[in-house]
Amino acid sequence: MTSYKMNETSLKKALSKINIGGLRYFDSIGSTNDEALAWAASGAKDFSIVIADEQTRGRGRLNRTWHTPKGSALALSIILRPAASALPHLSRTVGLAALAIFDSLLNIGLVPKIKWPNDMLLNNKKTAGILVESVWSGSEVDSLVIGIGMNVYKASTPPNDALKFPATSIEDELGKEPPAREEIGRDILTSLMLWREKMISDEIIKTWEERLAFRGWQVQITSNGEIANTGILDGLESDGSLRLQDENGQPAIVRFGDVSLRPTA
């Protein structure tokens, strides 16, 4: 199985043309999001980045485990300090990350789909996940941390019997050696900077919607282990909420939260 060592020098070289706020690289860390949240709370500049080769306590939503074995995955957290104009649109942040990951995969010849709300699929298998967390200052959001976990080499993919949704890696889907993780990270960051400029534009919603998995399919939403909605996946609302069409042809809006989407047909 292929895997390559990443190091601070190779990373700095790959990111040298991007205007980042700061960089912290770790051979091994608990969670890059934890590090980024602490750094954000102690004054990190906008667009500061945390990257690790291995996470020992990588987290998904609701503290679910996110596997990041060494030498094989991209574990990246980005600190954003939103401009005042972006504050009404912060719920679009997960879409911003999804579009950037999508672009990075297109760059290497793969065509992914976005499984709303926070996963990226290749060939209907999960290859990346997004975890957005916030640092608050009173009742205002001070900063956001976008955590991205991506399965690059085969060794990053957990065994499917340990998962509720099948997983894959870029190496598996490409059928050949993927680009270095540093290069994929650079592409994600470059694209994220561009999409961020469109944060308040409806273009972000339109493109996010076009890139959704299971659009037009009959789907089911579960929440806390119970079926919360069923219907045809129609599109997105302006805040990034999911819109289904129920059996009476009426819109049913699914908001972000502990929700899981599955096709039913």
Measure the CA–CA gap between 117 and 235, rounded to whole angstroms. 12
| Closest approach of ligand ATP to the CB of residue 189, in Å | 20
Residue linked to tokens 């990190």:
44
Q: Which stretch binds ligand BTN (CB under 6 A): 125-133, 194-202, 214-222, 229-237?
A: 125-133
Stretch that binds ligand BTN, among 20-28, 95-103, 145-153, 186-194 (CB under 6 A): 145-153
For residues 188 and 252, which CB has a smaller minimum distance to ligand BTN in the complex?
188
H-run or E-run covering 176: none
Q: How far is CA 65 from CA 77, 149, 200, in A?
A: 16, 11, 32
Q: Which of 3, 25, 32, 168 binds ligand BTN (CB under 6 A)?
A: 32
CA Rg, the chain, in Å?
18
List the one residue from 59, 89, 113, 211 that touches ligand BTN (CB under 6 A): 59
Q: Which of 3, 48, 77, 157 binds ligand BTN (CB under 6 A)?
A: 77
- Taking CB under 6 A as the rule, does residue 158 contact ligand BTN? no
- Contact flags string 99-118 toward ligand BTN, x per CB under 6 A: -------------------x
Sign of the four-CA dihedral 146, 190, 207, 196: positive
C-beta separation of 8 from 52 below 8 A:
no
Is 149 one of the binding residues for ligand BTN (CB under 6 A)? yes
**Residue 79 CB neighbour total at 10 angstroms:** 25
CA distance linking residue 132 with residue 185, whole number of Å: 17
Q: Closest Cα partner for 99 from 260, 255, 210, 15?
A: 210
Q: Does 5 help bind ligand ATP (rule: CB under 6 A)? A: no
Residue 211 lies near ligand BTN (rule: CB under 6 A): no
Of the pair 69, 82, the CB lying nearest ligand BTN is at 69
3-state SS of 16-70?
CCCCCCEEEEEEEECCHHHHHHHHHHCCCCCCEEEEEEEECCCECHHHCECCECC
- Give one word for 241, left, alpha or beta, with left for phi > 0 and alpha for psi -120 to 50: beta
Q: Which residues 48-87 are close enough to bind ligand ATP by CB under 6 A?
A: 60-61, 64-67
Q: Does 66 bind ligand BTN (CB under 6 A)?
A: yes
Give contact residues for ligand BTN (rule: CB under 6 A). Answer: 31-33, 55, 58-61, 64, 66, 68, 75-77, 118-119, 129-131, 147-149
Give contact residues for ligand ATP (rule: CB under 6 A). Answer: 60-61, 64-67, 118-119, 126, 129, 149, 151, 156-158, 163-165, 167, 260
